[in-house]
Structure 1
């Protein structure tokens, strides 16, 4: 039996023992994090920001075609520059903040040649004689190489699937829009710009063919990824087949051959890397895509563009080889090909293109252009870069241990093989959307083939607290570069406004827009040329001298710019300086010896200086040049007016305004309802559907008689579209305040030309045009 129990500090309540009350205090503790905590939450690390900039470019570049303009090249170039600047800024800021620049050792074999090529291009650009003319080309190549290096630095193998999904997301839009074009349901004003050939969001069939050829292997990789959801894999398979089908309708035969080879490459990689079930899926889809690229069996495919034929490529490469032989060791500087090539262009290229006033920007072969721009070192570095990349990628994809590996490496290998082939056989690698994708996919291949980096090469920055100053200075530099890109884009807007005002004859407005363009803009040199044209066409006191000054400015930047020698010679002839006019024309016929009109003008100049023998020789060369052109080419592109078709109107010109003065009974104009007093606003070869847009405002272009003759006259049976303002009566004509043009509703009329005259034999084309212009009868 136990004794009594005693409890300390307890009290008795009704024979019950209770413990004393515990007094609890509620304490609320709020963490007050420092700045590093908030920065980790609100501001992603530099690698995340860099990857985001690259992934945004993967979506933005191919889709920027929709920004209400047909020629979206400058939009894409600007987005490319801003995206790469953002990625480079993130890399520099993060590396300086961490006190070191890191390079994954496994990626060093591909980063090293890219970095050396980048540094070599910078050095050659600094000492180039064509820095201003080559700025755009240099900026594009720098952006591509930087994108490749940044991708290799910041991406890892676990990022491959995400990157492929972003690429394919934008490509899906391109495929859907391309299919709408195939069905004839294109809702935009540029529909039918390339006939039956599909161009989708890339704006050109050749560029769309290259872009789609690179995306199909990536889509096949997604379709064969057994870790992905079934619906996503099925959608990727359908898009692959549809993309292959549309490829056939680009009309690019060379692209189709490359694509078929890529399907073999992907199928071979899938055979090694995948297991039995996924392997069968990959092989079946590759074979189906190859079959779809053959096109329809019931409908003829569109033919290739004239600059995608083997003969054109062969002649272009011959001229480029001669250009390389002129400066083989160090080249002439990045972006200089288009400046120097006219002096080496073969006459066969002009005949194949079918145009005299044409500029060749690239030689359709990246290796040759690297050699032209940067000499033999640039060509060797380019070969080193892509040879190392393809070797590493193939070794990873076809190695014995590759079974069970990431099929995305196989897709990226096929895409990079395609990139190299397109670089060697087309111009696609020099344009923003497909060119950037080639380097981005190549960088991803380097990441996937290298595997997970276990070691890095660290380059320390022992600057202590001054690193913040260095970071701030670097950011100021990047902001300055971004500002320059935006200013170049603004210059392109001004340039297009200048063209609009020039066509309308509003010379003062055109001059103001052209003068505001910045020198580093892609359109700058053209704006100087157009300024010369504006002053030459306006013809006010002192304008001829101003025009001559701008043509001299163009020649100082690009000596053989399109037809500048011809335009300059015309001015000099008007000013009575026949000696210099002959000098310019001799240069023009050297650049383009198959232009009969220039030979005949040179013959006239020789006659004015009393050199009859040279005049006779020039006339013989004019005949020889004319004989080189096929008969259908003479009728289609020269629009030779000597046996010419017109629309049956008589015209008068009042301060550049083209007014209908008389109508030929039962002629095309009469049958279309055009009447005396009507004003012709525009003359265009495009179909009427191009102009039919709601709330569109038309303003009258101004014409000289010769301009009207060139636009209205053509081969019988060809068509021309007129924008006509019917004559409402003098009492109803009211001019808009501060705006050119008359208030009213225009008619858009397409007419078919009929035979109206035969100009006497012996006249040159220029003389025939002048004869028609003087008659005022079209």
Structure 2
């Protein structure tokens, strides 16, 4: 009996490892399918669900992998593995270092999480994906292509065959025609969708050559239609580069297979490349402003790089720093002054800005080493000795598609920053990891065969501690999962059947009858949202619980328990975006109470959401009730009574703490001080008080002038201050400065 018990314990860890491996290799492709396919129209950003899926799903993936490594122990890696993983680990480390010295956490947190996810996926792809898992991943990527391209084709037909307006065509969703005739599919933006098409086409084409699956032919035909319908010049140039690469690959690595079709291959590659370049040039004749926009942005970015060339300005530094360097012509190109440029329109410049010379060198090391490994392996796989019946092995087609896909994405990012956005940026880590994996021919874990773990010596300290802690740890992990999913904050939602994340998601979607009664595909979205949410939550929760009970060490349930808090934090980011959208709705109707309560909820759920703080300041600035009352429910920081001037100033200062030159914050604060001065005059307050607030207003207007020297209302208000002080020559000179527009000379 004792021997039987020992055998069950001895084989417990390998069983747990096998289950963790299976869960990882199933969840990774599904996660990428969901990131590609999901959108949610009740958030402020329709792509926020992709970000949340990356954060929450990525954390689930990392938790499974950490459990797997904990079960493997010291046998998980050896020193030789560092040769393979070194570029990825170095780029991961430079992201951590860059985040630590980043000056403003507002932008850094989000982009730091993306940086971590990209590299963690690459490490998992290298370590975990054996040949069946790689094949399964390709199948899920093809499914993602069917969903995205299918919906894009529906949009293409809808915008050309039906009249404009919500509910007037075959696209059932409220964002119908958001970009006019341009197609954006499930990506919510034509540029991101175009980048996805550039990435996925080489994979589809090489999978066709590998499998002769004819259903891929109409899919690729629809892809080409969608590519042109995106109206994205960067994607067209990226696709032209892909055409050239396919011609080079066919004549270099697949010489024997392409020999009978050499003329056709050369003709197709040349026609595709030259045709797309010509089409792009023709389009630029009518949309040359996009070139000017990029040139001015690149010039400003280079000046930003020169301020911290060695260590960089920190990950995600571009949004808070750029307003101080933005060129005045940008405002004329955009025709707006209340917008924010988030990125440099060139991934390599932004990498240089974030990480400096050292970090940019590591990024290049990662790319060059990945491509070198891939091209060398492809050369070996397509050599004459490797051919079977005149055909290269299936792995050669996989590797060729991945290499062309990565090169196409890298080419596109000379004109764009799609790596900075989750929808297309997630493919950086996946493609690099897959190239190394497929080039090596085996997953890293397969090179470390492990026998079943021997039972620890009886009476050893760790064995004793493990036996004492294993069941409390398991129960704590299971209890934490159930509490987070079904019980948390239940008391704060009276009348709700359940609490936790399920209860909160139910509150976001509302009842089914309301969704079915609403127009614009709300009912369809309700069913799809619940299916995805419940499916992901229940399946991942079950996998983690089962893993806790399979493992014979308390380390595994401890890892699961630790992961629950950041998981709920990421869930809060998603809910914050929903509340932000609701708050904007109420703000437009001047329903201040519900607007303020929703904005405050955003700041609680996501303290770094700077836009919500800015809008809160604008709400109190617009409302401008000067009666002093104590309103803790409106976010008053202390017990002392406050008026709306003080509340607005408090929230603008919060904005300045996170992003010192955010959008039109300085102009808004100047307007606030000016209103305060006017109120003091109207209520016959001392002139010294009026002058004090006029001085404060003038200071802020002058600060905003340094950021945006072509904003007419800023000059009008400066002149207004001079006229209030009866300084008419200065007011005239201010108007003359506006007319002269020296900043644009």
TM-score for both structures, normalised by structure 1: 0.70
The match for 1:190 is 175
Verify the 8 A CA contact 1:131 1:333 in the aligned structure 2: no
The match for 2:409 is 419
Verify the 8 A CA contact 1:251 1:303 in the aligned structure 2: no
- Which of residues 690, 706, 713 is equivalent to 1:590? 706
Distance 2:559 2:242 in 1: 42
Q: 1:626 to 1:332 in 2, by over 3 A?
A: closer
Q: 1:510 to 1:327 in 2, by over 3 A?
A: same
Matching of residue 394 in structure 1 with residue 370 in structure 2: no
The match for 1:732 is none
Matching of residue 245 in structure 1 with residue 245 in structure 2: no
Pick which of 201-210 and 189-198 moved more: 189-198
Per-residue Cα deviation, 1:391-428 (whole angstroms, up to 9, x for no partner): 22222224563751421100000011012123332021
Verify the 8 A CA contact 2:310 2:357 in the aligned structure 1: yes
After TM superposition, give the deviation of residue 438 of structure 1 in Å: 2.8
- Which of residues 339, 345, 363 is equivalent to 1:364? 345
The match for 1:616 is 732
After TM superposition, give the deviation of residue 443 of structure 1 in Å: 1.4
Aligned residues: 594
The match for 2:304 is 323
Verify the 8 A CA contact 2:42 2:578 in the aligned structure 1: no
After TM superposition, give the deviation of residue 455 of structure 1 in Å: 4.8
Distance 1:310 1:597 in 2: 28
The match for 1:437 is 427
Unaligned runs of 5+ in 1: 1-29, 630-778
Verify the 8 A CA contact 1:252 1:303 in the aligned structure 2: no
Q: 1:504 to 1:67 in 2, by over 3 A?
A: closer
Verify the 8 A CA contact 1:240 1:289 in the aligned structure 2: no
Pick which of 136-145 and 287-296 moved more: 287-296
Distance 1:605 1:532 in 2: 22
After TM superposition, give the deviation of residue 332 of structure 1 in Å: 2.5
The match for 1:678 is none
SS at the partner of 1:355? coil
After TM superposition, give the deviation of residue 142 of structure 1 in Å: 1.6
The match for 2:60 is 86
Distance 1:304 1:486 in 2: 45
Distance 2:79 2:248 in 1: 29
After TM superposition, give the deviation of residue 44 of structure 1 in Å: 4.6
After TM superposition, give the deviation of residue 40 of structure 1 in Å: 7.3
After TM superposition, give the deviation of residue 205 of structure 1 in Å: 0.7
Distance 1:108 1:285 in 2: 40
Per-residue Cα deviation, 1:578-600 (whole angstroms, up to 9, x for no partner): 11111111111111112122122
SS at the partner of 1:393? helix
Verify the 8 A CA contact 2:195 2:412 in the aligned structure 1: yes
Distance 1:283 1:100 in 2: 55
After TM superposition, give the deviation of residue 238 of structure 1 in Å: 2.4
Matching of residue 549 in structure 1 with residue 631 in structure 2: no
Matching of residue 517 in structure 1 with residue 564 in structure 2: no
SS at the partner of 2:710? coil
Distance 2:113 2:247 in 1: 37
Verify the 8 A CA contact 2:17 2:71 in the aligned structure 1: no
Q: 1:507 to 1:516 in 2, by over 3 A?
A: same
SS at the partner of 2:177? coil
After TM superposition, give the deviation of residue 476 of structure 1 in Å: 2.5
After TM superposition, give the deviation of residue 204 of structure 1 in Å: 0.8
After TM superposition, give the deviation of residue 621 of structure 1 in Å: 2.1
- Which of residues 112, 121, 124 is equivalent to 1:150? 124
Verify the 8 A CA contact 1:244 1:289 in the aligned structure 2: no
Q: 1:104 to 1:607 in 2, by over 3 A?
A: farther
The match for 1:602 is 718
Verify the 8 A CA contact 2:104 2:317 in the aligned structure 1: yes
Pick which of 334-343 and 105-114 moved more: 105-114
- Which of residues 446, 458, 467 is equivalent to 2:436? 446
- Which of residues 572, 576, 580 is equivalent to 1:491? 576
**Structure with greater strand percent:** 1
SS at the partner of 2:413? helix
Q: 1:165 to 1:370 in 2, by over 3 A?
A: same
Verify the 8 A CA contact 2:670 2:698 in the aligned structure 1: yes
After TM superposition, give the deviation of residue 344 of structure 1 in Å: 0.4
Matching of residue 311 in structure 1 with residue 296 in structure 2: no
SS at the partner of 2:310? coil
SS at the partner of 2:38? helix
Verify the 8 A CA contact 1:198 1:250 in the aligned structure 2: yes
After TM superposition, give the deviation of residue 612 of structure 1 in Å: 4.8
After TM superposition, give the deviation of residue 457 of structure 1 in Å: 12
After TM superposition, give the deviation of residue 359 of structure 1 in Å: 0.3
Verify the 8 A CA contact 1:217 1:263 in the aligned structure 2: no
Q: 1:522 to 1:374 in 2, by over 3 A?
A: farther
The equivalences for 1:734-753 within 5 A come to none
Verify the 8 A CA contact 2:236 2:276 in the aligned structure 1: no
Distance 1:427 1:48 in 2: 34
Verify the 8 A CA contact 1:132 1:519 in the aligned structure 2: no
Matching of residue 218 in structure 1 with residue 203 in structure 2: yes
TM-score for both structures, normalised by structure 2: 0.73
* Relative contact order, higher structure (CA 8 A, sep 6+): 2
The match for 2:74 is 100
Unaligned runs of 5+ in 2: 159-169, 467-552, 628-642, 678-692
The two structures, once aligned, show a CA RMSD in angstroms of 3.6
Distance 1:383 1:256 in 2: 24
**Structure with greater helix percent:** 2
Verify the 8 A CA contact 1:569 1:582 in the aligned structure 2: yes
Distance 2:135 2:5 in 1: 38
Distance 1:212 1:451 in 2: 27
After TM superposition, give the deviation of residue 265 of structure 1 in Å: 1.4
- Which of residues 147, 152, 168 is equivalent to 1:178? 152
The match for 1:529 is 614
Distance 1:435 1:311 in 2: 25
Q: State which structure, 1 or 2, has the greater radius of gyration over its C-alpha atoms.
A: 1
Distance 1:67 1:536 in 2: 29
Distance 2:374 2:438 in 1: 8
The match for 1:561 is 662
Pick which of 541-550 and 461-470 moved more: 461-470
After TM superposition, give the deviation of residue 345 of structure 1 in Å: 0.8
After TM superposition, give the deviation of residue 374 of structure 1 in Å: 2.4
Pick which of 347-356 and 483-492 moved more: 347-356
Verify the 8 A CA contact 1:249 1:301 in the aligned structure 2: no
Q: 1:85 to 1:282 in 2, by over 3 A?
A: farther
Per-residue Cα deviation, 1:455-505 (whole angstroms, up to 9, x for no partner): 5699x9999546834434332222222111101111111111111111122
The match for 1:344 is 325
Q: 1:297 to 1:273 in 2, by over 3 A?
A: closer
After TM superposition, give the deviation of residue 80 of structure 1 in Å: 0.5
Pick which of 133-142 and 412-421 moved more: 133-142
Distance 1:309 1:427 in 2: 14
After TM superposition, give the deviation of residue 216 of structure 1 in Å: 0.5
Matching of residue 138 in structure 1 with residue 112 in structure 2: yes
SS at the partner of 1:47? helix
Per-residue Cα deviation, 1:237-289 (whole angstroms, up to 9, x for no partner): 22223212321121112211221211221333244444755776899689658
Verify the 8 A CA contact 2:106 2:609 in the aligned structure 1: no
The match for 1:5 is none
Q: 1:600 to 1:297 in 2, by over 3 A?
A: closer
- Which of residues 191, 206, 227 is equivalent to 1:206? 191
After TM superposition, give the deviation of residue 623 of structure 1 in Å: 1.1
Pick which of 199-208 and 120-129 moved more: 120-129
Verify the 8 A CA contact 2:63 2:560 in the aligned structure 1: yes
